[in-house]
Amino acid sequence: MSCLRGSASQQELASASRRSFLEQVLGAATVITTVTQPLPANAVGFTKDMSKSRARRGQAGLGGQDESQVKKTSDFQWLGEPHDGLSYVDLEVGRGSELKRGDTAVVHYDCRYRSVVLASSRLGQLLGGNRSIAQPFELVYGVVPNKFSAKPKREKVVGVGLELRPAAVSSEESEVPLALGTEAGSAEMAAAAEAAKQPLEVVRSLPGSPAERGGVFPGERLLSIDGESTAGLDIYQAARLLAGDEGTNVTLEVVPKGGGPTRSVTVTRSPFDKGPATPSAAMDLTGGGGLFTGGEGASKAPPAIYASLEGMRVGGKRVIRITPDVGYGADPASVAPGELPAGATFEMEIELLDRKEA
């Protein structure tokens, strides 16, 4: 009996020891878990590192600031008319010297529509070997280029008033390689060859032109010009067929984009107001166009940048509200980014890096 009692006591002691051991282990684990939880940033004397600009973009108002903080630049001349100034908010007041008229301002800019970066000097210019370098933008402060300050010259021309481009191969408007001199797969070459057989597509009829009055609509396929098929023609060959003396007629055979009956439209070549120089979707078929034209691949700043720096000091940062009249639509040489809807307002953040005295 005593042996049995001793054995039971030993088992109870072993069981108690195991419970004590487990409690100690679990207690230690609890402590470890507690101390390894991430502490609040201010608990150890620092603040959470996050992008201020990213936080601002999530807030309402210009630059994420309250509208009571919004200021306006002085009035300036824009396209021959007085402009009542640009709305802006200074995010940081620079500690360097203030810009003076005639100084060369060295800036970085970032243009955003909602959360989409439209253009930025920080994106860099393309170099060889897939390398890039961020290139600040330089401009003369206090001087708005004449093409933005002066009233645009309107041009009267005689003609039909069509803008054309090669039609897409399929109804899905798939992209077709146009530079046949590049190395391409057989499928791409076949697609390019097929594209060469397609008629031309109407990009638009210029306002007030004979084509617009005759009812030629964007997206229609131009099958022939005075009986000559446009299949395989480039836009320059088509332009020569459309040109002619004032008062002469030209017959256009067109078909709706999605298919349908062919119709014949006869228009009379006559003078019409071409308006200010406008970007043509048919002007450069193989070049990049838009914001990334040129060999360097640098993005283009919106014209409003020339009127945005009033009162800035070196080191300062500012957000400007860019309305359509001073945005990319004001520059005939550039096309608005595809992410920017027509007539949309966006924001441009500028950082003044340096000033070079006149």
What is the per-residue pLDDT across 305-316, written as a single tens digit (0 to 9) for each? Answer: 999 999 999 999
203-229 tens-digit pLDDT: 888 888 999 999 999 999 999 999 999
Alpha carbon of 245 to those of 239, 250, 270: distances in Å? Answer: 13, 10, 8
Contact criterion met (CB below 8 Å) for 205 and 162: yes
Q: Can you tell me the distance from the alpha carbon of 161 to that of 200, in angstroms, rounded to the nearest whole number?
A: 15
| pLDDT above 90 (res 319) | yes
What does residue 13 show for φ and ψ, rounded to 5 degrees?
Answer: -65, -40
Sign of dihedral through CA atoms 26, 27, 32, 33?
positive
The helix (H) or strand (E) run that includes residue 6 is helix 2-36
pLDDT-based confidence at residue 183 (cuts at 50, 70, 90): very low
Q: Which CATH code is given to the segment(s) 155-171+185-275? A: 2.30.42.10
Is domain 52-151+287-356 in CATH 3.10.50.40, yes or no? yes
Computed on alpha carbons and rounded to an integer, the radius of gyration of the chain in Å comes to: 33
pTM confidence score? 0.51
Which residues neighbour 172 within 8 Å (Cβ) at sequence distance 6 or greater? none
Contact criterion met (CB below 8 Å) for 333 and 279: yes
Token pair 């001793």 is found at 6
pLDDT-based confidence at residue 284 (cuts at 50, 70, 90): very low
Name the residue ranges covered by the structural domains of the chain: 1-49, 52-151+287-356, 155-171+185-275
Which of 7 and 325 is assigned the larger pLDDT? Answer: 325
Residue 211, phi-psi category: left (phi > 0), alpha (psi -120 to 50), beta (remainder): alpha
| pLDDT above 60 (res 302) | yes
